[in-house]
Amino acid sequence: MHDLIPFIPGSVNDVLGSLPFFLPEIYLTALFILVLITNLLFGRNSEKLCRIIACAGILLVIQRDYQQIQLLFMSGRLNGQFLFNEMLLLNRTAINFKFIIDALAFVLLLYFGWDNRLKSHPKGLSDLYTIVIGSVLGLHLMAMAVNLLSIYLAIEMVSIASYLMVTYRSENAFGTEAGLKYVLFGAASSAMMLYGISLLYGFTGSLNLFSGNLLPGLIQANPVAVSFSLVLVLVGIGFKLSFVPIHFWVPDVYEGASTPVTAWLSTLPKIAGFALLINFLRPFVYFEKWDGFDFKLALSIIGIITMIAGNFAAIMQRNVKRMLAYSSIGHTGFALMAIVTYNSTGIAALTFYLAVYGLANIGALALATYFANALDADDMNSYKGLGLKYPAASVCFVIVLVSLTGLPISAGFTGKVLVFSSVYGIYQQNHNLWLLLLMITGALTTVVSLFYYIKIPLNLFLKRTEFVKNTLIKSQNIIVLSIIISVLIVLLGVWPDFLFKLF
């Protein structure tokens, strides 16, 4: 104990010096407590107030995210700043991901209250808004975590919040089963990741990815045991990214959860997971003496299999949410192409791609909510002949699906072009066979995705039905949101530099 006393002043000074770079997370913590107390004080009647506080707080956090860029510039730490004894790393990449997470979280906070099935929860949505803010805090930590301990804690923080969100409202036995499956798969992947971390610590006596004895110690250890440990850690990260073979939970959970929760799971944890993967890979990529586990080869193979499995499985789906679940798996595989390049161009392309993917995916699921609210329609056959009856919603649906497919002149097309360009740039330098296979697979599966995305416009506009149900509820708020998202998708497709230059 006495041996630690000399280190206490330095640790305290490091913590105090980290606080100015940690303001968005401090604001999120305060916002979480504020929403929680509001819920406790006003009970079920606090739903609208909690929502207003949560949305206003997220906007303030976004403003603090922007200030962090200026703070890094003014402090001369453009390459990044380690926080809390190198548990976290704040750099421009982390800020970009946090900005995307917060912007999409604001949209989703608005969207939660517009889903009739979720809104009919007996207790209201006040508790859900509290969980959401806690989850956003965990997503921030995932984007900055660079210590194996902080990585595990951040993932667990997001996972626990996700379990609560999925099981917040179960409409039927299938929803309950999906929630249970999600918890069991999450617990298993968490245990495997923790076991891998414990092995890495046993080999090296260190948990710090960027300093200490972690990488030098791994070089000295048994390469088979080290590779096994790293694979276990990738399992934990892969659970958030939902790449093959850790994807089995996705279709059932996405279909069984409330649609706004599905929109949350398919975007924000995935985006934060890619930020975490970037941080985890960085020391291995840039450590010159590392000749152990080949992450680029492993992720290339995973990316190819994930693109094939996700896109071909989506073709056979009739349920809209289940189809979008498999398509999100395919998008994960495509995004792994940019990760494999691991250069500034690839990371910027990945950031842009994830931003426009998240926007389009939320738009697609919001429109699925619109038709569920209006006609209780959940599968594609229920959309027959609705294109002319609901023209605004149907046209917006076509636009977001065009972006998810990656067709001109949408933002999704620009995102895919940027990813292909970054991979091709590296391929020209080393002519790596796996990069070529990634590009071929990405191009072919993009064509395949057209076959299942086009089913919705086909049913909306080209197929007819003799009987159309009377409208239950017209969700005008969702229409406004969908129009805004559609306009943004087109504008970012025509003028991508507006967003790409930020990254």
Handedness of CA 57, 58, 59, 65 (dihedral sign): positive
35-92 confidence digits (pLDDT tens): 999 988 887 678 889 899 999 999 999 999 888 888 888 877 777 888 888 899 999 9
pLDDT band for position 468 (50/70/90)?
A: low
The pLDDT score that the predictor gives to residue 100 is 94
Choose the most confident range, by mean pLDDT, from 41-45, 328-332, 426-430: 328-332
pLDDT > 70 fraction of the chain, expressed in percent and rounded: 93
DSSP 8-state symbol, 462? I
pLDDT at residue 139 greater than cutoff 90: yes
Residue 6 has pLDDT above 70, yes or no: no
Q: Which of 126, 137, 122 is nearest to 46 (CA)?
A: 126
pLDDT at 334 over 60: yes
Inform me whether the pLDDT recorded for 364 exceeds 90: yes
The pLDDT of residue 398: 93
Confidence grade of residue 246 (pLDDT, cut at 50, 70, 90) = confident
Q: Which pLDDT belongs to residue 442? A: 93
pLDDT > 70? residue 306: yes
Q: Is the pLDDT of residue 503 over 80?
A: no
- Look at 107-116, 282-291, 328-337, 426-435 and tell me which has the smallest mean pLDDT: 282-291
Give the CA distances from residue 149 to residues 145, 158, 270, in Å, rounded to whole numbers and listed in that order.
9, 14, 20
What pLDDT sits at residue 472? 54
Query: Domain ranges in the chain?
Result: 294-503
Helix, strand, or coil (residue 289):
coil
Find the farthest-apart pair of alpha carbons in the chain and give their distance in angstroms, rounded. Answer: 83
- Amino acid identity of residue 451, one-letter, is F
Structure-token match 């193979």, residue found: 301
CA atoms of 167 and 371, how far apart (whole Å): 23
Element housing 367 (H / E): helix 344-375
pLDDT for residue 220 is more than 60: yes
Confidence of residue 443 (pLDDT cuts 50, 70, 90): very high
Residue type, position 372, single letter: A
Strand, coil or helix: 48: helix
| C-alpha–C-alpha distance, residues 446 and 360, integer Å | 16
pLDDT tens for each residue of 185-213 = 889 999 999 999 999 999 988 888 887 78
pLDDT of residue 180: 84
Q: Cα angle vertex 226, ends 224, 227, to 5°? A: 65
C-beta of residue 168 within 8 angstroms of C-beta of residue 155: no
pLDDT for res 471: 58
Q: Are 26 and 57 in contact (CB under 8 A)?
A: no
Instruction: List the one residue out of 465, 355, 444 whose CA is nearest residue 403.
Output: 355
Q: Average pLDDT, whole number, for the chain?
A: 87
Separation of alpha carbons 405 and 413, rounded Å: 8
- Residues 6 or more apart whose Cβ sits within 8 Å of residue 390: 370, 371, 374
For residue range 83-131, list pLDDT tens digits in order: 888 899 999 999 999 999 999 999 999 998 888 777 777 777 888 899 9
Residue 9 has pLDDT above 90, yes or no: no
Q: Where are the beta strands (DSSP E) in 223-293?
A: none
pLDDT of residue 27: 94
**Tens-place pLDDT, residues 370-410:** 888 877 777 888 888 788 888 888 999 999 999 999 888 88
Quick check: 3 pLDDT over 80? Answer: no
